[in-house]
Amino acid sequence: MLKRASESRLLAIATGFVAAIVLLVLGVGGYHLLHKDDAPRPVGQADPGGRLAQQLRLTLKALPTSVHVFDIQQLAPRWDGCDDIRSTFGWDDVTVDASVDHVASPDAFVASVNRSLRAMGWTVTPPYGGGQWGWDKKLANGEEAELQLVGGPDARPSSPWDYQAVVAAATHPVSGC
């Protein structure tokens, strides 16, 4: 009788242990099944062949050789959404950033950049002046690219200026942000 009670107790413990493991596996698996599609899967290619980024990189030639260009970054689009809200998911903008310093004359610098960008087909847009200048251009894919230069007439010659060119992804851009 004692042997049977021990066997029953061991069987109950083993059954409880197995049940706990089964519940844990089902719970974790169920959670992943329910939440695996929280973020929609990427759609299309944001910048096929890097053509948009290449068009934006060409704008760096508008920067005069008399300035020091540093920290050039080409930011590849990421599949993203606003606060992980499904309806806003899409590709971030294609972006080329640069920092510039050793601008001896802010007015001459901006005039030189403006001449070069206009020769490349870029058009001046507001804001223009007061430390912030803008241009835009329709790229080969039909998307409107924007370029901003931020610095200013008060900037010391060694102060960095920010230069950024952006264009929406070729397909399914992020929206609603």
Question: Side chain identity at 87, as an amino acid letter?
Answer: S
Positions of the chain with pLDDT lower than 50, given as ranges? 31-33, 35-36
Q: What is the pLDDT of residue 162?
A: 94
Contact criterion met (CB below 8 Å) for 110 and 128? no
Which of 174, 176, 110 has the alpha carbon at shortest distance from 147?
Answer: 110
Dist CA 74 CA 92 (whole Å): 13
Tokens linked to 14: 């083993």
Dist CA 38 CA 36 (whole Å): 6
Tokens linked to 104: 């001896």
- Give the dihedral sign, CA 64/65/68/72: positive
Question: Side chain identity at 131, as an amino acid letter?
Answer: G
Contact criterion met (CB below 8 Å) for 109 and 155? no
Contact criterion met (CB below 8 Å) for 103 and 161? yes
pLDDT tens-digit readout, 18-66: 566 666 666 655 544 454 456 789 888 899 999 999 999 999 999 999 8
**What does the DSSP 8-state code read for residue 87?**
G
